[in-house]
């Protein structure tokens, strides 16, 4: 992320490479001294190999966000980082944790975690929180729930 503040995920000039992230790219929202809110618009498909949200970063997914192929964590939320899911969040084919939560996830939509190389779907760190709102769902497939 290169924009000083927040903005639209689909705006190429907001990104350090000058293009909207592709499925083969690691997406990083760096830590900031002030809040950055990045929004995936409704009816939009967004992609990344991994997603790291630094402190004071927030991603609001109103569309379809797919994270796939990371050699490490799929999504990593630092302390004071947040992700609000109002759409469909798909995390798959990840080598380590699907979600590492040090901040807060508010889920109003669907989170799907599948086909991980380890049996660790979610790792909620001290002070981390996953708030699954009424009518929303977290689906974990093809893995062992014993480590959840």
Q: What is the mean pLDDT of the chain?
A: 90
Residue tagged 């992700």 (tokens): 83
Residue percentage of the chain with pLDDT more than 90: 73
Residue 110: pLDDT above 80? Answer: yes
Q: Can you give the pTM of this predicted structure? A: 0.91
The predicted structure's pLDDT at residue 147:
42
Report the distance separating Cα 17 and Cα 48, nearest Å.
14
Residue 64 has pLDDT above 90, yes or no: yes
Q: Please state, in angstroms and rounded to a whole number, the distance separating the CA atoms of residues 127 and 1.
A: 25
Nearest to residue 7, comparing CAs of 25, 32, 80, 74? Answer: 32
The pLDDT score that the predictor gives to residue 145 is: 47
Show the CA angle centred on residue 92, arms to residues 86 and 94, nearest 5°: 125
What pLDDT is recorded for position 98? 85
pLDDT on residue 39: 98
Q: pLDDT digits over 9-63, tens only?
A: 999 999 999 999 999 999 999 999 999 999 999 999 999 999 999 999 999 999 9
Note the pLDDT of residue 53. 97
Which pLDDT does position 97 carry in this prediction?
82
Contacts of 134 (CB under 8 A, 6+ apart): none
Q: Which sign does the torsion angle of CA 129, 138, 117, 143 carry?
A: positive
Q: Are 9 and 36 in contact (CB under 8 A)?
A: no
């Amino acid at each position: 992320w290169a924009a000083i503040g927040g903005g639209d995920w689909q705006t190429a000039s907001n990104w350090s490479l000058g293009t909207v992230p592709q499925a083969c790219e690691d997406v990083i929202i760096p830590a900031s001294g002030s809040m950055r809110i990045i929004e995936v618009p409704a009816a939009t498909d967004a992609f990344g190999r991994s997603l790291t949200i630094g402190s004071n970063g927030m991603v609001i997914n109103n569309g379809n966000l797919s994270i796939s192929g990371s050699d490490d964590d799929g999504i990593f939320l630092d302390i004071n980082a947040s992700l609000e899911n109002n759409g469909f969040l798909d995390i798959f084919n990840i080598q380590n944790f699907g979600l590492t939560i040090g901040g807060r996830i508010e889920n109003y939509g669907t989170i799907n975690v599948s086909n991980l190389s380890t049996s660790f779907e979610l790792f909620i760190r001290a002070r981390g929180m996953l708030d699954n709102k009424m009518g929303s769902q977290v689906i974990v497939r093809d893995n062992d729930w014993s480590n959840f």
